[in-house]
């Protein structure tokens, strides 16, 4: 232990004699460790944000979305049909028997059928995500995300009203021009003015503000509820966008333990609604928050692995830099090595000295790299919407990688130093 401490002391003394060279040598390790830890931290933060968002909705919520219809192929498996005829004579683009099969659609009637016939669902909320529309109030105007829905939306999503009221069944059936605002929209367009009962324009049409949504706080799967406005789905369909279909249906299952049964029941109801024959596959998809989380986590992990692999190249470059500078150090200190051997130092003593210096150099770069990662994490959380969480695992990985790189890339210069002939070393100028 005493010999090891002495070697570490000599290593720091050697690095201190060439501070700039040591820093430049460590730069590859610093950047590599900082980048790797930052990427892993952003991945962990993103996963935590998605998990928190889905948990706020609840694990007993299912989402129905449109899906591309499939038919049974000749081989017995499901086969996707994507033939599209855009005009021309029958033989120009395909055969006369070619058919265009559009992506499945959902309708307001589908949500009503689920609401009336499903025994395992509490609330059912049809949703129409409109394109960004222009909202204007007095002299202020800008683009916001419009969501068309019904009175059940609030309970299904787990949101709360800050002030005023949410949409009612009467608003939906009468195509009312009423709107509920997200908290960010209120801050951006009204400031200290109470927007309740105020009149705003959405794409040039008058709407009356009836409520303010309590801040949700975090975006859910890319959507930002606080920066959205909510209007009756019928109003969105017939007065703003001129469409008859909807984007999705969100429904709350009565009993969390009966989600699978509720999905089967919903599928049966929707198959009847869409007139799907027994041999045909569904033209819709039903997912749970757990499935959304698995999908999002899978994408995040793949992205993190890819970016980490790219960032790890910096560690390789840093390791090569360490090996290079250690060879230079061996050459510069040839006479010192000869003197140490002349007074009794063995080959293994020289080997351990230079190997310790290499590890200390790499490990120091790793520690500084962790500080660099912490700075990146702070910048991301402060100036962007990305969430970054530095956990214990990437810290241990960074320290371990730094040590291993110092060991691997320092072994060859250390072996060269240990093998130097003491007599020739003493003659070296």
Which among 287, 313, 348 is the end of a domain? 287
- Domain of 15 in residue numbering reads as 2-52+294-427
* pLDDT score at 413: 83
Task: Give the span between the Cα atoms of 91 and 86, in whole angstroms.
Answer: 12
The Cβ-side half-sphere exposure at 267, using a 13 Å CA radius, reads 16
Closest CA to 254 of 354, 139, 114, 391: 114
Q: Name the stretches of the chain with pLDDT < 50.
A: 70-101
Q: How far apart are the first and last CA of the chain?
A: 33
Q: Are 356 and 15 in contact (CB under 8 A)?
A: no
Statement to judge: residues 212 and 255 lie in one domain: yes
Which residue, among 309, 305, 319, 306, has the nearest Cα to 28 in the 3D structure? Answer: 319
Residues in contact with 267: Cβ distance below 8 Å, sequence separation at least 6, in sequence order: 282, 286
Other residues' Cβ atoms within 10 Å of the Cβ of residue 242? 8
- Number of domains, the chain: 2
User: Which residue reads 């320092």 in tokens?
Assistant: 410
Distance from CA of residue 170 to its chain's centroid?
39
- In a domain? residue 61: no
Q: What is the pLDDT of residue 90?
A: 37
* Closest to 401 (Cα-Cα) out of 19, 35, 23, 41: 35
CB distance 349 to 340 below 8 Å: yes
The residue length of the chain stands at 429
**Which of 259, 287, 315 is the endpoint of a domain?**
287
E strand segments, 214-341 = 228-232, 245-246, 248-253, 284-287
Domain assignment present for residue 121? The answer is: yes
What's the token pair of residue 95? 């055969």
The pTM assigned to this predicted structure is: 0.61
Q: What are 216-253's pLDDT values in tens digits?
A: 875 555 568 888 999 999 999 999 999 999 999 999 99
187 & 268 share domain: yes
Give the pair of three-digit tokens for residue 304: 């993190």
Identify whether residues 121 and 226 lie together within a single domain.
yes
pLDDT in tens, 81-111: 333 333 343 333 344 444 444 568 999 999 9
Return the pLDDT at 32.
83
**Is residue 250, in this structure, part of any structural domain at all?**
yes
- Evaluate whether 85 touches 94 at the Cβ level (below 8 Å): yes
Nearest-CA neighbor of 146 among 137, 158, 135, 138? 135
User: In whole angstroms, what is the distance from residue 198 CA to residue 204 CA?
Assistant: 15
Residue 58 is predicted with a pLDDT of: 59
Residues 43 and 159 in one domain: no
Angle at 240 between CA 238 and CA 243, to 5 degrees: 50
363 and 387 housed in the same domain: yes
Long-range contacts of 168-172, Cβ-Cβ distance < 8 Å, separation of 24 or more:
171/232, 171/235, 172/232, 172/233, 172/234
The residue from 263, 287, 311 where one domain ends is 287
Say if residue 231 is in the same domain as residue 128.
yes
Tell me the C-alpha distance between 4 and 146, whole Å. 67
């Amino acid at each position: 232990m005493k010999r090891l401490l002495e070697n570490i002391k000599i290593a720091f003394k050697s690095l201190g004699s060439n501070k700039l060279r040591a820093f430049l040598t460590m730069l590859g390790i610093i950047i590599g460790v900082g980048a790797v830890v930052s990427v892993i931290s952003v991945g962990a933060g993103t996963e935590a944000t998605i998990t928190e968002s889905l948990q706020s909705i609840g694990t007993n919520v299912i989402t129905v979305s449109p899906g591309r219809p499939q038919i049974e192929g000749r081989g017995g498996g499901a086969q996707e049909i994507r033939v599209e005829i855009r005009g021309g004579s029958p033989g120009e683009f395909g055969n006369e028997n070619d058919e265009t099969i559009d992506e499945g659609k959902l309708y307001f009637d589908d949500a009503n059928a689920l609401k009336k016939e499903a025994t395992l669902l509490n609330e059912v909320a049809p949703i129409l995500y409109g394109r960004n529309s222009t909202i204007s109030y007095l002299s202020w105007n800008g683009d916001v995300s419009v969501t068309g829905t019904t009175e059940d939306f609030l309970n299904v999503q787990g949101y709360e009203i800050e002030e005023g009221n949410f949409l009612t069944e009467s608003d939906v059936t009468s195509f009312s021009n009423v709107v509920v605002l997200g908290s960010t929209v209120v801050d951006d367009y009204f400031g200290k003015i109470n927007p309740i009962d105020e009149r705003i324009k959405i794409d040039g049409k008058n709407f009356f503000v009836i409520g303010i949504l309590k801040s949700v706080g975090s975006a859910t799967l890319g959507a930002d509820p606080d920066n959205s406005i909510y209007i009756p789905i019928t109003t969105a369909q017939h007065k703003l966008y001129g469409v008859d279909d909807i984007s999705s249906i969100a429904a709350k299952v009565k009993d969390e333990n009966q989600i699978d049964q509720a999905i089967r029941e919903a599928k049966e109801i929707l198959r009847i609604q869409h007139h799907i024959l027994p041999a045909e596959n569904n033209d819709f998809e039903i997912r749970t928050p757990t499935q959304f989380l698995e999908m999002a986590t899978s994408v995040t992990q793949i992205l993190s692995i890819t970016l980490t692999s790219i960032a790890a190249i910096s560690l390789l470059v840093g390791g090569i830099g360490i090996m290079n500078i250690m060879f230079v150090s061996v050459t510069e200190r040839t006479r010192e090595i000869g003197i140490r051997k002349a007074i009794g130092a063995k080959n293994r003593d020289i080997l351990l000295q230079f190997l310790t210096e290499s590890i200390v150099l790499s490990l120091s770069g790793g520690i500084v790299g962790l500080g660099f990662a912490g700075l990146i994490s702070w910048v991301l959380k402060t100036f962007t919407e990305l969430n970054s969480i530095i956990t214990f695992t990437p810290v241990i990985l960074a320290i371990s990688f730094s040590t291993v790189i110092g060991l691997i890339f320092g072994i060859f210069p250390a072996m060269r130093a240990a093998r130097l002939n003491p007599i020739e070393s003493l003659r070296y100028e």
